[in-house]
Amino acid sequence: MSSLRNAVQRRPYKERAQPKAREQLGLLEKHKDYTLRARDYNAKQRRVKALRDKAANRNPEEFYFGMVRARTKEGVHQLAPEGSKPIAPRAMRALKAQDAAYLAVRGAAESKKIARLRAALHRFDDAGEPDGGGGSGELDGTGAGASGTHTIFVDGPAAAAAFDAAEHFGTAPELAARRFNRLRTEDLAAKAVSVPREVRALADAGDVRAVDRWVSGVRKRQRASYAELEQRVGREARIRADAERIELQRQLMGKGAKKKLRGAGAAAAAAAASGAGAGEARVGAPSGVPRRVFKWKPERKR
């Protein structure tokens, strides 16, 4: 019988939607919504009743140790302020380990990003001087990128005295100091190898201002890239310093007899007294916080 009933397609059950006239009241509550709401309401009622019963059945003579330090303020009971409970040293040590691990992860992520940025930001001193036409228009001064010493071997002191950088490199005198790309004189007129099509179209149309605008946009983007790099380098240094500080705290909370070799105050005084000593005391602490130094007693372990 039932199989016969199943064979005939039945009209699917549809719950009523909110009538058009009552649309301002929002969605119409369905039975499943009502069940949830009712269950929640009843649970709250039960809880309130339980508290009420507890208060009614209270023994006024009862004593709890918590009452010793409990205070009221204008008749209102004061809860203990958050965090006033001391954390056990062992738990604290575990928390510090978590902090240190988190900082290590962040530091590693940061250094990876720095490496990626550095790989493609070669410090062409000028934060970008791409003149639309090619390499020769605006020439930049010194190379802030590479800073190594360049030695050129010449034949004898006479040649050394007569040495002229621009002549030796076969470039324009103003380019002799531009390390990363001293274009040869014969290549100075060379056009850029590739310029975006829309910029070339602007240049062909003679719209000098639009080209200039585009060039300054490139410069702006490059400056932003360099700024990001700088920011990340600073952040990484701070993260590393914090990780080191927390690790020291964690070690100090651990076992073993230890002796303070140099405190923060002493190191700061030493740094102030001699400029040379500052480097040693401040290693790894770019924020200028001098390092404290401890020594653990060697302990035989079985």
Partner 1 sequence: MKGGKKVIIEPHRFAGIFIARGNDAALITKNMVPGEAVYGEKRITVEENEVKVEYRVWNPFRSKLAAAVLGGVDNIWIKPGAKVLYLGAASGTSVSHVADIVGDEGTVYAVEFSHRPGRDLINMAKKRTNVIPIIEDARHPLKYRMLIGMVDVIFADVAQPDQARIVGLNAHLFLKNEGHCVISIKANCIDSTAAPEAVFAKEVKKLKDEHFKPLEQITLEPYERDHAVVIAQYRAAKKAK
Residues forming the site for partner 1 (CB under 8 A) = 115, 118-124, 127-128, 130, 132, 134-135, 143, 145-153, 155, 168-169, 171, 178-184, 187, 190, 192-197, 199, 218, 221-222, 224-225
CA–CA distances in Å: residue 72 to residues 69, 79, 84, 91, 189: 10, 9, 17, 31, 86
**Can you tell me the distance from the alpha carbon of 139 to that of 170, in angstroms, rounded to the nearest whole number?**
16
**Can you tell me the distance from the alpha carbon of 249 to that of 189, in angstroms, rounded to the nearest whole number?**
63
In whole angstroms, the minimum distance from the beta carbon of 287 to partner 1 comes to 23
In whole angstroms, the minimum distance from the beta carbon of 253 to partner 1 comes to 37
| Residue showing tokens 């992860």 | 105
Which is nearer to partner 1, 77 or 150 (by Cβ)? 150
In whole angstroms, the minimum distance from the beta carbon of 153 to partner 1 comes to 5
- Is the sign of the CA dihedral 198, 200, 206, 209 positive or negative? positive
Which of 188, 161, 162, 192 is CA-nearest to residue 175?
A: 188
Which is nearer to partner 1, 190 or 261 (by Cβ)? 190
What's the longest Cα–Cα distance across the chain?
A: 118
In whole angstroms, the minimum distance from the beta carbon of 185 to partner 1 comes to 11
Contact 166, 175 (CB under 8 A): yes
Which of 82, 61, 81, 109 is CA-nearest to residue 243?
A: 109
Which is nearer to partner 1, 215 or 267 (by Cβ)? 215
Which is nearer to partner 1, 51 or 152 (by Cβ)? 152
Which is nearer to partner 1, 146 or 269 (by Cβ)? 146
Which is nearer to partner 1, 53 or 187 (by Cβ)? 187
**Can you tell me the distance from the alpha carbon of 150 to that of 266, in angstroms, rounded to the nearest whole number?**
43
Beta-strand pair 258-262/76-77: unpaired
In whole angstroms, the minimum distance from the beta carbon of 109 to partner 1 comes to 16
In whole angstroms, the minimum distance from the beta carbon of 288 to partner 1 comes to 23
